[in-house]
Amino acid sequence: MTLERKLSNRTARVAVIGLGYVGLPQAVTIAEAGFQVTGIDLDPERVGSLRAERSYVGDIPSARLRAVIRNGRFAARTDFTMLGTADVVTICVPTPLSKTKDPDVSYIRAATAQMASALRRGQLIVLESTTYPGTTVEILKPALEATGLTAGRDFFLAFSPERIDPGNRRFTVRNTPKIVGGLTQRCTRLAVAFYRRFVERVVPVSSPGTAEMAKLLENTFRSINIALVNELAMMCDVLGVDVYEVIEAAATKPFGFMPFYPGPGLGGHCIPVDPEYLAWKLKAFDFTARFIGLAGEINAQMPQVVVAKVAEALNAAGKSVNGARLLVLGAAYKPNVGDVRESPAVTVVALLNQRGARVGYHDPFVPTLRVNGTSLASVRLTARLISAQDAVIILTNHDTFDIRSIVARARMVVDTRNATRGLMQFRDKIVKLGAPSLLLEALRAKGEAA
């Protein structure tokens, strides 16, 4: 039976390599669409958890996982033995940066080597990991063709970037349009036919390189716009204007403007990392990606900006960072998830510790946090704990936080996310990035009068 036919009658066997934030939701969604899916991950703990029907990815409740395991559509394993019988294989392995901030494509190479050793005619292989333009053609194609089979004729190869937004309940694997760029037209047609079975809208493009670059444009766009508003917040601090009011006002323009908001810095596996993949690739062409570099610099300095703000706020209350009791609220890099990869909270806590503060943190999604080799445990959020702090620092505004009651009990709040908007009655104890503060203004006025 041809692959086209197997895809249309859903008898194609699918393998998903890498069962993390990207691979697991995808594998479960494909199984729910009626395909038989095998998930492969090197991490025995993750596979053990899946076999015990326990999900470790917030977007996939264990009940959804259990349903596809029990109806026989999904199984997880640590070995690659079934790759030879798979009709479609998607690769969703990590693409981090090395210590020197260069792309680390070793996971892609390793997964490709596993695939090459099982490659047979008629298979469709799709890389989904975010990576620099050229990866599919320069790394996957030669490694797979070393088997003697030819891409586009004997087997099919495409790149389709994953766009999942962990914690986003509105946009999921199913209703987020999927870009697909195949090596040949037939590769693209087959990959489109596959994704159409479980994604509402599939967008074919002319090559894997276009699909790779489109993903990097999306994430570079975010990095640059976040850097712009982070710098705007610093400008507003200097000018005494409220950055949030400025952004809300600008956002009333019905065309040509999209609001972004300042924060304590970038986090996660994507926005701080992906633009560096593009900048790295361009270096080989003697091309300096200046916007990417500048945005990276501004965003990377935000934890220091937060710490300076905390010091300024404590100073206004006659205190120093040294010896201050501080509570960080939210350690994850964004609301409603437990992902701490690249989270600015780690840097903020480390910098405050270095300055002699006694820092605790609370995050319902992050039970423990490693800072400079030491493991901290999330503290229980009680009224007593909050009122005993010299300042509460809001780094991530999880929906579960009762901000009003936290602010009511706190002596001082440094809010890096505008989580306290609307709480005017407490404004004499709230300090924000990029917004005038009664506390700091009172001190300034005193200094000027003296």
Residue 93 interacts with ligand NAD (CB under 6 A): yes or no: yes
Q: Are 204 and 180 in contact (CB under 8 A)?
A: yes
Residue 95 interacts with ligand NAD (CB under 6 A): yes or no: yes
Distances 217 to 30, 136, 163, 192, 274 between C-alpha atoms, Å: 27, 17, 12, 21, 9
Query: Residue from 107, 195, 198, 261 that binds ligand NAD (CB under 6 A)?
Result: 107
CB count within 10 Å of CB 353 equals 17
Of residues 39 and 262, the one with the C-beta less far from ligand NAD: 39
Active-site choice (92, 187, 236, 270) = 270
**CA–CA dist 241, 218 (Å, integer):** 30
CB contact set of 318 (below 8 Å; sequence gap of 6+): none
Least distance from ligand NAD to the Cβ atom of residue 370, Å: 16
Of residues 190 and 270, the one with the C-beta less far from ligand NAD: 270
| Residue the block writes with tokens 């010091």 | 311
Distances 141 to 34, 40, 83, 145 between C-alpha atoms, Å: 30, 21, 17, 6
Residue 267 interacts with ligand NAD (CB under 6 A): yes or no: no
Least distance from ligand NAD to the Cβ atom of residue 215, Å: 8
Residue 130 interacts with ligand NAD (CB under 6 A): yes or no: yes
Q: Rounded to the nearest 5°, which phi and psi values hold at 368?
A: -135, 155
For 69, which DSSP code? Answer: H
Query: Residue from 7, 14, 22, 366 that binds ligand NAD (CB under 6 A)?
Result: 22
Amino acid at 33: A
Query: Residue from 12, 92, 227, 236 that binds ligand NAD (CB under 6 A)?
Result: 92
Residue 363 interacts with ligand NAD (CB under 6 A): yes or no: no
* Site track for ligand NAD across 37-66, x = CB under 6 A: ---xxxx--x--------------------
Residue 83 interacts with ligand NAD (CB under 6 A): yes or no: no
Q: Rounded to the nearest 5°, which phi and psi values hold at 120?
A: -140, 170
Least distance from ligand NAD to the Cβ atom of residue 233, Å: 25
- The stretch near ligand NAD (CB under 6 A) out of 93-101, 198-206, 223-231, 354-362 is 93-101
What is 272-332 written as a DSSP string?
TTHHHHHHHHHHTTT---HHHHHHHHHHHTHHHHHHHHHHHHHHHTT--STT-EEEEE--S
- The stretch near ligand NAD (CB under 6 A) out of 161-169, 200-208, 350-358, 405-413 is 161-169
Annotation says 270 is catalytic: yes
**CA–CA dist 112, 122 (Å, integer):** 17
Size of the site for ligand NAD (CB under 6 A): 27
- The stretch near ligand NAD (CB under 6 A) out of 148-156, 163-171, 195-203, 303-311 is 163-171
As annotated, the active-site residues are: 270
Q: Which residues bind ligand NAD (CB under 6 A)?
A: 17-23, 40-43, 46, 92-95, 107, 110-111, 129-130, 162-164, 166, 269-270
